[in-house]
Amino acid sequence: MYAKSIPFMLLVNCSLLIFVVLPVFLAPVKAGAEYYSYVDRNGTINFVDDPSKIPKEYRKKKKVHKDAYDDLPEAERGRLLENDRETARQQEIDRDEKVRQRRDAEKRTAALERQNEALTTQVVISGRQVFVPVKLRNGQEEADVMLLLDTGASASVITPEVAERLKIDKAEYVRIGVVGGRVMKARKAVLDMEVGPVRKPGQEVVIVRQGSGEYGDGLLGMSFLGGLKYTIDFKRQTINWIPER
């Protein structure tokens, strides 16, 4: 009797199981998903996807959240969600474009700053006198000097001490006119000259001893400055070279 009742009991249990479970699978599935939030005793806001995960003492004060389109028909909800996704994609594209534009602008600004820095030469200004750092080359010999910018001088001038540093042993003797109409004898040499971004090879310079009390290593004259465009910033003590367009 007991052995025959087992299949019957199993059948009843299975039938009950089918009766109970089927309605769950046959019931319409609601689109979207609710989630819940609660504030614990520490004032922290917690989010969970299952109300059973909320501690009992906070369940009465929980807040229920759901997607904005959950109550709409499925077709309408799908259309709106697709619109939202498209809007999100476009916003991401716009953000990427703004980031690219900002980076391009930063690159242009950095390049302009580097260009301006390269076109700027720091000088020493004393009163109205502008002393310019100049690199001179005589073959393999080099010398860094400070020459007084003088637009009234037709040629650049260096002192005998600078000529000695550059090991100028062969120099042609010439006569030059000086202030007051005097003519004096001097030596002439050919050097490569460099001031900031401006480089000029084969420049004629005159070797003249300076008078007492004069500062610097000579004059930077129009033989070098001719044809160059520049401005002098007396406040920042710089020469700003203007490139040819």
Spell out the domain ranges in the chain. 124-242
What is the percent of the chain with per-residue pLDDT over 70, rounded to a whole number?
Answer: 81
The whole-number pLDDT of residue 241 equals 92
Average pLDDT over residues 11-21: 38
**Residue 11: pLDDT above 60?**
no
Q: Interior CA angle at 105 toward 101 and 111, to 5°?
A: 145
Q: Is residue 209 within 8 Å of 228, Cβ to Cβ? A: no
What's the chain's average pLDDT?
80
The whole-number pLDDT of residue 214 equals 65
Rounded-to-integer distance, Cα 84 and Cα 90, Å: 10
pLDDT band at 181 (very low <50, low <70, confident <90, very high): low
Residue 231's contacts (CB-CB under 8 Å, 6 or more residues apart) are 239, 240, 242
Average pLDDT over residues 181-195: 84
Backbone angles phi, psi at 213, to 5 degrees: 90, -10
Determine how many CB atoms are found less than 10 A away from the CB of residue 26.
7
The whole-number pLDDT of residue 133 equals 96
Nearest-Å Rg of the Cα atoms of the chain is 44
Which of the two residues, 181 and 83, has the higher pLDDT score? 83
The whole-number pLDDT of residue 212 equals 57
Backbone angles phi, psi at 152, to 5 degrees: -90, -10
Which of the two residues, 182 and 200, has the higher pLDDT score? 200
Q: Where are the alpha helices (DSSP H) in 154-234?
A: 160-165, 222-225
The model's pLDDT over 148-172, given as tens digits with 9 standing for 90+, comes to 999 988 889 999 999 999 999 877 7
**Residue 21: pLDDT above 80?**
no
Distance (Å) of CA 177 to CA 63, 154, 166: 98, 10, 25
Which of the two residues, 117 and 43, has the higher pLDDT score? 43
Determine how many CB atoms are found less than 10 A away from the CB of residue 158.
29
The model's pLDDT over 79-104, given as tens digits with 9 standing for 90+, comes to 887 888 898 889 999 999 999 999 99
Residue 58's contacts (CB-CB under 8 Å, 6 or more residues apart) are 38, 39, 40
Tell me, which fold does domain 124-242 have in CATH? Cathepsin D, subunit A; domain 1 (2.40.70)
Q: Which residue has the tokens 């980076």?
A: 103
Average pLDDT over residues 6-29: 37
Distance (Å) of CA 208 to CA 38, 144, 156, 214, 218: 91, 17, 10, 12, 8
**Residue 147: pLDDT above 90?**
yes
Most confident region among 8-12, 185-189, 225-229 by mean pLDDT: 225-229
